[in-house]
Amino acid sequence: MVEALLAFNSWLNSIVWGPPFMILLVGTGLYLTIRLGFFQFTHFGHAWKQTFGRFFSKATEEEGGAITSFQAVASAMAATIGVGNIAGVSTAIALGGPGAVFWMWLTALVGMATKYGEASLGVKYREIDPETGEISGGVMYYIEKGLGPKWKPLAIIYGLLAGVAAFGIGCMVQANTFAHAFETGFGVPNWVSGIIVVIATGLVTLGGIKRIAMTAERIVPFMAIVYIIGSLIIIFMNISNLGWAFGQIFYYAFNPMAATGGFAGAGVAAAIRFGIARGIFSNEAGLGAASIVHAQAKNTPVRQGMWGMWETFIDTIVICTMTSLVIILTGVITTGTTGAELASTAFSRGLPGPGGVVVLIGLILFSYTTMLTWNFYGEKSWEYIFGRGIIVPYRLLFLAFLFVGAIGGLVLIWDIADTLNGLMAAPNLIALLVLATILTKDKKDYVDDLKKKLYTKQKI
């Protein structure tokens, strides 16, 4: 029975994460990019001013949210900046060659429009409980309220899939990575790491979104900066070969790479496949989960959408590129290793001593913060279906699965959750495609208002 279930799931997983579905994910991003008038490129500088730039201005936060815009994006990035930025990128290069990075970039560039749509719609269609002030939003809400009540079954399907998928991608996978990092770096037994991760996660998640946001606001910038600095040191130490490294990325994006050393070689199809797949795994554009936490922000739909754009840009274009360049510049692709081990080997070779520590700290912090936000994604998804009474039981169940994941148990649930994680994209993509007209109108109204203010300012 179990073997049959595993076989069926393996077949379904090959479809869900196969070329047709990945084309749909990237195609949706491309469609939104065109409908929005290439907004992520034409207003790139403006988006910067309206997001990170607001920290240096006297602009105040909009009303109506539970957390600040930065806390919302920090929480969303806590879920996306994770194992995918280290192990995911390493796997893409190990299986698809340096050319996979180019296709990862392409996925992110159109994914910026997808994430813009998710964040914007999350705020636009959120609900605020008049009695408690609790905010609920995300894919389920913009399906039901944006597409209409007759679409509610699709919203329920998304909620069910997201709630179960969270136990895999955001829970057991991360707990296992956390435990493995502690075992490798400090010799800590997995069961001890399991207890540590349950306590550390429970202390935050049991306090709700505000405590998650406050934690993410502190940890995410720190972990990103440490990882980027470590990467930049290695890149600058090999600066003379930087042009060659970029050349490898662009050349092998369109040409097969022959086998060399422990590298088995890769054709163009492999570069495209693994680049797109790992790009999606890294920034999660199209899965829709980030809309759940973006909906909590004190912001307008369009401005929060800009935060969604930057979330994808920083995650893939910046951090994933750092990992890629370190791997290519240090030449570890010929070792034949893959995953986090390849990244660790690259950092250790490029920066003997502290290099391996950077990856170790990255894996621990990245996996930890991912658990925090995915717990929130899961509980809000099931709250939409079962009501607020499900929140505490869900949190406790999530903590139990963390321990199971840390000791390497329930691989079946792990594998099924990975499939459901891909399936949950379908309802979200349908909603984004149908609501593209609304996204376009809101963007146009914002740009027109921006031009009007600029014209008035110039006349004065």
CA distances from 354 to 79, 107, 343, 360 (A): 26, 32, 13, 10
Nearest CA-CA partner of 105 in 292, 332, 322: 322
Token duo for residue 337: 């290793």
Termini Cα distance of the chain? 76
Q: Which CATH number among 1.10.10.10, 3.40.50.10190, 1.20.1740.10, 1.10.1740.10 corresponds to the domain 63-454?
A: 1.20.1740.10
Token duo for residue 35: 């409908």
Domain chopping of the chain, boundaries? 63-454
What's the pLDDT score for residue 458?
58
Amino acid at 374: W
Task: Give the pLDDT confidence of 274-299 residue by residue, as tens digits.
Answer: 888 888 877 888 899 999 999 988 88
| Gap between the Cα atoms of 359 and 231, Å rounded | 10
Task: Give the pLDDT confidence of 371-400 residue by residue, as tens digits.
Answer: 998 999 999 999 999 999 999 999 999 999
3-state SS string over 306-340?
HHHHHHHHHHHHHHHHHHHHHHHHHCHHHHCCCHH
- The DSSP call for residue 127 is E
Task: Give the pLDDT confidence of 191-227 residue by residue, as tens digits.
Answer: 999 999 999 999 998 888 888 888 888 888 888 888 8
Task: Give the pLDDT confidence of 250-259 residue by residue, as tens digits.
Answer: 999 999 887 7
Give exposure, 371-407, as e/b (b: 16+ Cβ within 10 Å).
bbbbbbbbbbbbbbeeeeebbeebbebbbebbbbbbe
| Gap between the Cα atoms of 257 and 442, Å rounded | 45
Confidence label for 411 from pLDDT (cuts 50, 70 and 90)? low
Maximum distance among all Cα pairs of the chain, rounded to whole angstroms: 76
What's the pLDDT score for residue 364?
87
In percent, the amount of the chain with pLDDT more than 90 equals: 43
- 0.75 cut: is pTM over it? yes
The mean of the pLDDT values for the chain is: 87
Q: Is 128 helix (H, G, I), strand (E, B) or coil?
A: strand
Task: Give the pLDDT confidence of 313-332 residue by residue, as tens digits.
Answer: 988 999 999 999 999 999 88
Task: Give the pLDDT confidence of 32-64 residue by residue, as tens digits.
Answer: 999 999 999 999 888 888 777 665 555 555 556
Confidence label for 124 from pLDDT (cuts 50, 70 and 90)? very high
3-state SS string over 33-72?
HHHCCCHHHHCHHHHHHHCHHHHHCCCCCCCCCCECHHHH
Confidence label for 121 from pLDDT (cuts 50, 70 and 90)? very high
What's the pLDDT score for residue 2?
66
Task: Give the pLDDT confidence of 73-105 residue by residue, as tens digits.
Answer: 777 777 777 777 887 888 889 888 999 999 999
What's the pLDDT score for residue 19?
81
Q: Is 264 helix (H, G, I), strand (E, B) or coil?
A: coil
Is residue 68 predicted with pLDDT exceeding 80? no
| Gap between the Cα atoms of 218 and 249, Å rounded | 34
Q: Is 260 exposed, middle or buried (0-12, 13-18, 19+ CB in 10 A)?
A: exposed
CA distances from 1 to 7, 8, 12, 142, 288 (A): 10, 11, 16, 38, 33
